[in-house]
Amino acid sequence: MSRKPEGELSGPPSNSFDKVFAVAPTAVVNRLQSRKMLSGTIWAIPKRVPPATFAQRVQDTSSPEEMGEKQKNSEHLRAKDTILLAKGEGVFTVARKIKIKDIHPGQIAVALWIKNIDKFIYGNINGIQPNTRLDKFGIEKLAAKIDLQTAKNVLSGQLHEWKLTKRKPGKGEKAETSVQEIPLPVERMNNVASIFDWISGWKSSWEKNDIERHISFYREKVSENSSSVQENPAQESFVRKKTLFLKFPNPRLSVSSKNLILKQGMPWVVFEQYFFSESLKSKGTKEVRVVWENGTWKIDKEKFYAEKTKVTGLDNSLRRKKILPENKFPFVIHVSSHSNKPEAIFASNNLRGNGYDSYTAPVRVSKDVQIYRVYIGRFANWDQAHRVVQTLWRKSLARHATAIPYPFTLQVGEVDSIVKARELIEELRLKEISSFLSVSSGEPEGIKFEVFVGAFKKLDNAIWLMKELEQGGFNFKKISP
């Protein structure tokens, strides 16, 4: 007996979300095949490359303690914090069972997917099977962040990709026309090696209430165009910071590792900031746009996104020792999916031309079917990535872009300068392997240039790109950046 598409199930009146998400759960056709797919393993693994070949080259950076903690947390989820998919149900169906005031089921469905993405075939929201248990702990907070338009964009994009995975290759489908990948925007940046140098002085001058030195880190003026009235960022910052210094004297600041993100070709330095004074405690994400002016990097614009949770009990420990909050980058932006490589490179080139560090990666669906995804960057959390997604939407660059947790990647080689990073990226490009250059800085290692290939929800998903790198003669290791 055939089942109805989810858009026709009984419940609240049909709307655009139901139409978008009218996809039946994946059927269990073959137990072995489906089990591999559920586990995140892309099947049709090449037999000529034995696992031992990679064991000497690949390093899993997860410690035994971390793995044990992850397993403990997973095993001790309470029944009320999970939801089980029954036969004939999809994620949108179970989302309707979770009642959250003023939150649409589409928002809940997307939140469930993001929180449990490792349980979906190919990481696609439609790739879910019966008897899958989903973690819904804290789902209210995540769903509230996802507005209706975001949910609709995600569902549309995921449905498009799901249809690509189900397509049957035509008999005449053969060699793809070559499209040359253009350089990453960060590759073309000058003076990138010193882009974090100002932070130490900026931080210490704030802690010492040295307003004159502090304001010296800000750009002096916006434009040389004297015919228009331009604000002076330095003067504006002087007034604002002086007020802040007087109101909250003798603060202590702690900042996380710093990450370079390019938006519309402009460099932004992003880090987590913890601020403590006698009368104010705050933490959140600081995003600082910088420009090269008079031989040094200057602050052109800064934004602080405060966490709403109350900060308590941390100032004493901060005064006893230096705290550097850990800031890993598990999120990427999944921009689009394509049926062939040239189409994906063309889409990525368009993003690179508009000032975004995009890259492509293949996803093996079966022996005969492969799709190509376009990603952007590496981000510390969903909110940080979603702010870039919103910019892409506003500029009509990526209608279906969405932030997703793909915590694993392949780090290729070891480089210690931007020059060596450029050389390695060019070598990869000659082998038709797309890559991403991560530029970050932390204590005590300082600035790091890391070349990444691909983005994965599980380590097993890296097998095909590992094979390409192996054949190209590249050293690499699996990491969680």
- Reported as a single tens digit per residue, the pLDDT across 338-360 is 999 999 999 999 999 999 999 99
Q: How confident is the model at residue 445 (pLDDT cuts 50, 70, 90)?
A: confident
The C-alpha angle with vertex 434 and arms to 433 and 435, in degrees rounded to 5, equals 120
Distance, in Å, from the CA atom of 158 to the CA atom of 334, rounded to the nearest integer, reads 10
Residue 6 has pLDDT above 60, yes or no: no
262-278 pLDDT, tens per residue?
Answer: 999 999 999 999 999 88
pLDDT at 261: 97
Residue 72 has pLDDT above 90, yes or no: no
Q: How confident is the model at residue 252 (pLDDT cuts 50, 70, 90)?
A: very high
Residue 60 has pLDDT above 80, yes or no: no
116-156 pLDDT, tens per residue?
Answer: 999 999 999 999 988 999 999 999 999 999 999 999 999 99
Question: What domains sit in the chain, N to C, each tagged with a CATH number?
Answer: 78-162 (no CATH), 188-320 (3.10.450.50)
User: Among 393, 392, 377, 386, which residue's Cα sits nearest to residue 144?
Assistant: 386
Whole-Å CA distances, 426 to 170, 182, 222, 344, 432: 33, 10, 35, 18, 10
| 65-74, 219-228, 300-309, 424-433: the lowest-pLDDT one | 65-74
Distance, in Å, from the CA atom of 117 to the CA atom of 382, rounded to the nearest integer, reads 13
DSSP SS3 for 420: helix
Residue 105 has pLDDT above 80, yes or no: yes
Q: How confident is the model at residue 4 (pLDDT cuts 50, 70, 90)?
A: very low
User: Among 318, 319, 385, 326, which residue's Cα sits nearest to residue 356?
Assistant: 385
Q: Which residues pair with 275 in a beta bridge?
A: 253, 282
Buried b (16+ CB within 10 A) or exposed e, 73-107: eeeeeeeeeebebeeebbbbbbbbebebeebbbbb
Residue 8 has pLDDT above 50, yes or no: no
pLDDT at 184: 98
pLDDT at 176: 62
E-strand stretches of 339-463? 358-364, 370-379, 402-405, 408-412, 436-442, 446-456
pLDDT at 366: 82
Take residue 404 and report the two structure tokens written for it. 């997703």
The C-alpha angle with vertex 226 and arms to 222 and 227, in degrees rounded to 5, equals 120
pLDDT at 443: 81
pLDDT at 123: 94
pLDDT at 36: 40
Q: For the whole model, what pTM was predicted? A: 0.80
Distance, in Å, from the CA atom of 217 to the CA atom of 205, rounded to the nearest integer, reads 10
Residue identified by tokens 């959250």 is: 100
DSSP SS3 for 188: helix
User: Among 58, 29, 14, 115, which residue's Cα sits nearest to residue 460?
Assistant: 58
